[in-house]
């Protein structure tokens, strides 16, 4: 047969040109991963994080930064006993904050289960706070793609401005990268021009190598943010995971000219913790990312800690 009819795919077999197309998408992902220069040496990552924190965390722990961080909080309630009434009360605190403390910027968004989008939309009186939902079978991401799409579409119809989903870690484990990417891309299509945040569940992935791969795959699939954790089953955010993710975002930006946001979530409760994540973002990504369009922290108790830090009071507005 002629050379045009047969091609090698690099897997040791020889097959028809038509068949070769099936390998192309996989090549795209593998190429992106193999060409990444982001370090996957866990010890090197830990050392880099330690150096950044030792050098810069203290200087960033100022009232100005604390106020900025409050404006980056996705104020979150994801409890089994959330109800329409409890969510409405939760949202009312954000309304009250706007009335009681007009001198301070409010939180970035209120983040709830997708079935409460309408409650938040109906109760929220503050124009510059978004309605964010955790969708697509959060937190395990185990459901038919049709279910995930339907849930997301319903939340958007109910008024969601932003959507957080969990990476299909099962596909990731099996290296079914095309399926994984297609799923994110299909959900992004439903989400449209609203921000789509993909949760990597870094406490489950553990290694810098796995976190790098998951970050690259998510960004190549069209997401707008990569996020550390659900805060549900596995260890939450870590500074090491944040460092690797931010390095991947930086590399992707240099290669493709598209800014992807970073969201830390899972166990971030104190002002000191939040300032450390701010420090990583500032040192790795720079000033361009220091706004709530590209930097978020998902938390529930953090908002009060930040408020108490920059006001010097023990008030708990949230």
What are the residue numbers of the active site? Answer: 164, 227, 263
* Pairing state between β 6-8 and 14-16: antiparallel
Helices (H), the chain: 17-20, 24-34, 42-60, 63-70, 84-100, 117-123, 145-157, 169-173, 177-191, 202-205, 208-220, 239-256, 271-284, 302-311
- What residues are paired with 15 via a beta bridge? 7
- What residues are paired with 110 via a beta bridge? 75, 131
Burial code (b: 16+ CB inside 10 Å, e: under 16) for 246-256 equals: bbbbbbbbeee
Q: What angle do CA 144, 116, 303 make, to 5 degrees?
A: 115
Q: How far apart are CA 224 and CA 219, in angstroms?
A: 7
Cα dihedral 86→88→190→293 (10° resolution): -110
């Amino acid at each position: 047969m002629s050379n045009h009819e047969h091609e090698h795919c690099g897997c040791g077999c020889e097959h028809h040109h038509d068949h070769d197309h099936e390998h192309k998408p996989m090549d795209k992902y593998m190429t992106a991963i193999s060409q990444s220069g982001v370090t996957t040496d866990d010890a090197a990552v830990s050392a880099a994080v330690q150096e950044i924190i030792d050098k810069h965390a203290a200087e960033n722990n100022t009232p100005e930064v604390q106020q900025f961080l409050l404006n980056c909080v996705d104020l979150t309630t994801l409890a089994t006993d959330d109800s329409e009434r409890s969510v409405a009360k939760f949202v009312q605190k954000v309304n009250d904050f706007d009335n009681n403390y007009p001198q301070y910027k409010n939180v970035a968004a209120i983040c709830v289960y997708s079935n409460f989008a309408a409650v938040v939309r109906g109760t929220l009186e503050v124009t510059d706070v978004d309605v964010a939902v955790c969708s697509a079978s959060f937190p395990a991401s185990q459901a038919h793609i049709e279910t995930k799409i339907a849930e997301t579409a319903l939340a958007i119809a109910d008024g969601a401005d932003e959507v957080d989903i969990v990476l299909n870690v099962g596909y990731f484990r099996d290296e079914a990268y095309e399926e994984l990417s297609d799923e994110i891309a299909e959900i992004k299509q439903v989400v449209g021009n609203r921000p789509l945040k993909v949760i990597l569940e870094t406490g489950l992935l553990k290694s810098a190598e796995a976190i790098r791969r998951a970050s690259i795959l998510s960004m190549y699939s069209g997401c707008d943010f990569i996020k550390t954790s659900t805060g549900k089953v596995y260890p939450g955010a870590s500074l090491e995971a944040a460092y690797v993710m931010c390095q991947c975002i930086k590399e992707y930006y240099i290669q493709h000219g598209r800014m992807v946001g970073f969201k830390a979530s899972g166990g971030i409760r104190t002002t000191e913790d939040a300032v450390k994540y701010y420090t990583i973002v500032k040192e790795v990504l720079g000033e361009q990312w220091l706004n709530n369009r590209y930097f978020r922290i998902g938390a529930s108790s953090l908002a009060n800690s930040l408020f108490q830090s920059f006001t010097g009071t023990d008030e708990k507005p949230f």
